[in-house]
Amino acid sequence: MDAAAILLIVEKGLSLATLLIQAGISAEPEIIALLQMVTGANKGTVTPEELAANEARLDQLLADFNADLPP
Amino acid sequence: MRKLLLALACVISLGGCATVEALFSISQFATASISNPVTPDMLNKIELGMRIALDGLKTYRQSCIDGLAEVNCRRNIVAIQAYTRRIPPLLTQARSFVRNNDQIDAIVVYNQIVALIANFKSAATAAGVAIKGV
């Protein structure tokens, strides 16, 4: 993953984390994800464990957002 | 208490816009090809981008349920869901193909995911959700 792409995601992620915190929502999972990504970039590649954790979180978010809206 | 709720409404409303902006800035992913195969890092990047965006969209959805977002928010969410609901099965396939280094199929599915992201960006634009920096 190239440095520019990582910096863009980190920048946007931190902006979003700030908004989540201001709205009273925990931003911890996203901050951890950003840290993992930067760590992975330093190592040169994402580990299977990091990928699996990222995927599990994404699956949960997709399920939450895709659920029918209550009446 | 009322002040707090008003402040929260403002923040969530602003957050909704910023979230969508973040989503579309993040999601400008390159199309995969034989010369640009889908690696675990590429998969991780697109999944992290979607994850950050969806976290914000989930906040927008919750503010809509709580009656704090704009009047058309339900329609906007349904319009975006028309595309986001097609993503999970494609992700399942992409993950399997990438892990098995089945590049021919991985490239096809990865590009379908990139196209879906572009489609729900268009849906949000058509629904009047404010976006910048696209």
pLDDT tens over chain B, length 134 residues: 333 333 333 333 444 444 444 444 444 567 788 877 888 888 887 887 778 777 777 878 888 899 988 888 898 889 888 888 999 999 999 999 999 989 889 999 999 988 887 776 777 666 655 432 22
Question: A51: nearest CA in chain B?
Answer: B44
Contact between A33 and B52 using a beta-carbon 8 Å cutoff: yes
Give residue for tokens 């863009």: A8
- Min distance B114 CA to chain A CA atoms (Å): 16
pLDDT of residue A54: 83
Across residues A2-9, what is the average pLDDT? 61
pLDDT of residue A50: 78
Nearest to B19 by CA among B66, B77, B88: B77
Nearest to B109 by CA among B10, B100, A13: B100
Could you tell me if A38 lies within 8 Å of chain B, comparing CB atoms? no
- Min distance A30 CA to chain B CA atoms (Å): 7
Q: For B48, which of A19, A22, A33 is closest by C-beta distance?
A: A33
Q: Which residue has the higher pLDDT, B42 or A7?
A: B42
Across residues A20-26, what is the average pLDDT? 60
- Min distance A37 CA to chain B CA atoms (Å): 9
Report the sign of the C-alpha dihedral through residues A66, A70, B5, B6, in that order.
Answer: positive
Contact between B52 and A1 using a beta-carbon 8 Å cutoff: no
Residue B33: strand, helix, or coil: strand
Q: H/E/C letters for each residue in B48-75? A: HHHHHHHHHHHHHHHHHHCCCCCCCHHH
- CA-to-CA distance for B100 and B103, rounded, in angstroms? 8
Give residue for tokens 């995601």: A9
Burial of B17 (0-12, 13-18, 19+ CB in 10 A): middle
Query: Residue B33 — φ and ψ, nearest 5°?
Result: -155, 175
* A42's tokens: 């330093």
Q: Which residues on A lie below 8 Å from B44 (Cβ)?
A: 1, 37, 40, 46, 50-51, 54
pLDDT of residue B132: 29
Nearest to B56 by CA among A36, A27, A10: A27
Q: What is the pTM of this model?
A: 0.67
Q: Quick one: angle between helices B40-65 and B103-126, nearest 10?
A: 30
